[in-house]
Amino acid sequence: MLSFGLTVYNVLLMCMGNESSLDAFAWVSKRALGYVCEYISPIGRVKSDDMFKFDVKPKDFRSIGYARALRSVGLLLQMRNLQTFDLRCETCEFRLECGYQSPPCSTPLEMRYSLDDIESLEAENQPESKGLYETVDFLSLGEVLRGMGAYVDKQGGRLVRISNNESSMAPGSVKLQYETSDGNLKEEVFSLPSIYELCVHLHKERSKPSRSKNIFVGSR
């Protein structure tokens, strides 16, 4: 290792003021880097071209789950007394057009929420659990959007759009657009009874005790 380092140093001295020797120095430098990688790697040679490549996937809404993210959006809409929405999903941002009247209506209010916004708002507005006999409004915007998100999560899809502002739909219905796992765009319309049934079913699933939960914890 030391002798190879001295060789590189000597070549550098030779290249001083001699442009024709720069190619030789570049070759030796590359060999030196490869030698160092082989010396320090516990699993063998590491290509120098791969040393600074990072396999890091960008974080998006699927990383936290659409159900979780959309529930936060629904709660925000409820807090602002908004009843009509048209939500479009980008990789890391929700874009909404909203209105205060019952759908269908004009949507003068535009809002955007990034993934960081959702996580911050979620941390600031953690709901207090009311225990086993908690009363849930399954047709509130928080629960409706949560249900739509959970549906997409279960399909392994990518959310495209959710809207309750279509004049062709029955009152209380929601149109859902998402991309399936095989890349096809799918559109479904959920009626008010089907939304209620979906949200109740999901609530029951969440309420089931975990098998790994210690039944003696918190019991006195």
pLDDT the model gives residue 51 = 44
- Residue 218: which pLDDT band, with cuts at 50, 70 and 90? very low
Q: What is the pLDDT of residue 209?
A: 75
**Strands (DSSP E) along the chain, which ranges?**
84-89, 93-99, 109-114, 158-163, 174-179, 185-190
User: pLDDT of 131-169, one tens digit each?
Assistant: 555 688 999 999 999 999 999 999 999 999 999 999 999
pTM equals: 0.67
| Cα–Cα distance for residue pair 216/72, rounded to 1 Å | 32
Q: Where are the domains of the chain?
A: 2-50, 61-207
Give the pLDDT score at 34. Answer: 54
The structure tokens 């205060």 sit at 100
User: Which has more confidence, 7 or 64?
Assistant: 64
What does the pLDDT look like over 71-104, one tens digit per residue? 999 999 999 999 999 999 998 899 999 999 999 9
For the chain, state the CA radius of gyration: 28
Instruction: Answer for the pair 123, 140: CB distance below 8 angstroms, yes or no.
Output: no
For residue 131, give both structure tokens. Answer: 């225990």
- Residue 36 to residue 5: CA distance in whole angstroms: 10
- pLDDT higher than 90, residue 112: yes
